[in-house]
Amino acid sequence: MKTPLTHMFGIDIPLFAFSHCRNVVAEVSKAGGMGVLGAAGFSAEHLDEELRWLDAQGHPYGVDLLIPQAHQDIGSHKPTIDELVPDTHRDFVNALLDDAGVPKLPDSDRASLIADQAREINMTPREAEELLEVALAHPIKLLVNALGVPPRHSVERLHVKGIRVGALVGSLAHARAQLQAGIDLIVAQGSEAGGHTGTITSMVLWPQIVDLAGSVPVLAAGGVGRGRQMAAALALGAAGVWCGSVWLGTTESELDPILRQRLFDARAEDAVQTRALTGKPCRALRSLYTDAWDRSDAPPKLPMPLQTLLWLEPRLRVQRARARDWMSYPVGQLVGDLKGPTTTRAVIHDMLEEFLDSVERLKSCVDDKTTAG
Ligand SMILES: Cc1cc2nc3c(=O)[nH]c(=O)nc-3n(C[C@H](O)[C@H](O)[C@H](O)COP(=O)(O)O)c2cc1C
């Protein structure tokens, strides 16, 4: 395949895969696409470990950071969650799980279990900067930022090293700001996507951003998991696709088996937009936890990263108790199409095959009309 993005990165398929799992990233790059490792959930040391493993695979890859513009500054000394999160909020979530019979964490381990998890949360600019330094020590080809506009000097610094810079956008206003910052590609993410999203759907957003971006290539994200969707994205002017949810059903993606089964059982409408998990609108699997935050007696959601930190303890309790109906995870409306376990390789193979069929079908529509006319 040939698009401005295959040209930019010297790859065979304009398929970009967002995943927190290094095996998915490596498999997609090995198949001729571009795997991009989501780094927000790693400490600096852990990220370095993951990137060393990816370097050893010998395929090109990128890194995605979550650098929010609007956030609560929690300082540099990493206070404990009990210090950061108001009692009202902790009491609310603890009562939910107590009432549901989900056991508490043992007193002896509680603090260390939560602190271990908190170390892997990097959502402030200061923490994202540390991760950026780690990423820059590796031969990454692409750096993508999810939640804000990178300062021009950061973009220039990456360019000097030959690293391309991309950003996720969900609206024209976001795209305009990113273009002014001098980025190399835009990921236009429709609201059906998993993770933090805006409100405009892919079908409307993609061509708007393509028209605005001019010569800057656009990756279409949000609801792409198969070849017909890839063909639609390219037909709407995108130079490639950026997929996240579809990898969650693959054996390379490290997910709790119970959670994965919940994804296979879910319908498209079970992927709801909620602030319950991170404080920002995030499309995720509906659960008893997300439902509880819609109740009238729920406290106001905290700003990022406090709402994410608040979620750590209930998440640990739910995991340990295997409390299926309380489990949630970011996922897009595509979840309704995930029906059972597969492999990254099979997803790519099927996507390309269906893409080619779609192209043929579109061509035949034009031929038929020409003949009929
Ligand atoms: C589990 C999960 C976690 C995500 N976390 C991030 C993230 O940390 N940074 C980011 O840029 N995008 C994140 N996203 C969004 C993806 O990058 C991508 O834009 C989105 O998944 C595309 O839509 P789709 O889910 O319909 O494929 C996440 C998506 C999922 C499914």
Ligand 1, from 15, 16, 18: best to mutate by most atoms within 8 Å of Cβ?
A: 18
Residue 364 confidence (pLDDT) above 80: yes
Q: Identify the pLDDT of residue 20.
A: 97
| Measured CA angle at 214 (ends 208, 217), to 5 deg | 85
Rounded Cα distance, 287 and 102, in Å: 15
Cα(318) to centroid(ligand 1), Å: 23
Q: Identify the pLDDT of residue 319.
A: 94
Please give the DSSP secondary-structure letter assigned to residue 226.
S
Which has the minimum average pLDDT: 106-115, 143-152, 156-165, 302-311?
Answer: 143-152
Strands of the sheet with 282-285, listed across from one edge = 195-196, 282-285, 271-274
Lookup result for tokens 């060393």 = 52
Phi/psi at 125 (5° precision): -55, -40
Q: Which of 62, 67, 48 is nearest to 18 (CA)?
A: 62
Looking from the CA of residue 168, the nearest atom of ligand 1 is 11
Q: Is the Cβ atom of 35 under 6 angstroms away from ligand 1?
A: no
261-to-131, 171, 257, 298, 339 alpha-carbon distances in Å: 32, 33, 6, 29, 9
Looking from the CA of residue 246, the nearest atom of ligand 1 is 27
Q: Identify the pLDDT of residue 321.
A: 96
User: Averaged over 203-220, what is the pLDDT?
Assistant: 98
Lookup result for tokens 């095959």 = 353
Q: Identify the pLDDT of residue 373.
A: 47
Q: What is the pLDDT of residues 29-39, one digit of tens each?
A: 999 999 999 99
Residue 304 confidence (pLDDT) above 90: no
Element (H, E) at 282: strand 282-285
Give the burial string for 102-121 (b: 16+ CB within 10 Å, else e): beebeeeeeeebbeebbeeb
Q: What is the pLDDT of residues 88-111, one digit of tens each?
A: 999 999 999 999 999 999 999 888
Residue 163 confidence (pLDDT) above 60: yes
**Residue 142 carries which side chain, given as an amino acid letter?**
L
Q: What is the pLDDT of residues 239-273, one digit of tens each?
A: 999 999 999 999 999 999 999 999 999 999 999 99
Residue 368 confidence (pLDDT) above 70: no
Q: Identify the pLDDT of residue 176.
A: 96
Q: Which residues pair with 15 in a beta bridge?
A: 241
Strands 15-19 and 240-243: parallel
Q: Is the Cβ atom of 131 under 6 angstroms away from ligand 1?
A: no
Residue 27 confidence (pLDDT) above 90: yes
Give the DSSP letter string of 10-66. Answer: T-SS-EEEEES-HHHHHHHHHTTSEEEEE-TTS-HHHHHHHHHHHHHHT--EEEEE-
Which has the minimum average pLDDT: 16-20, 125-129, 184-188?
Answer: 125-129
Q: Identify the pLDDT of residue 73.
A: 57
Q: Identify the pLDDT of residue 76.
A: 58
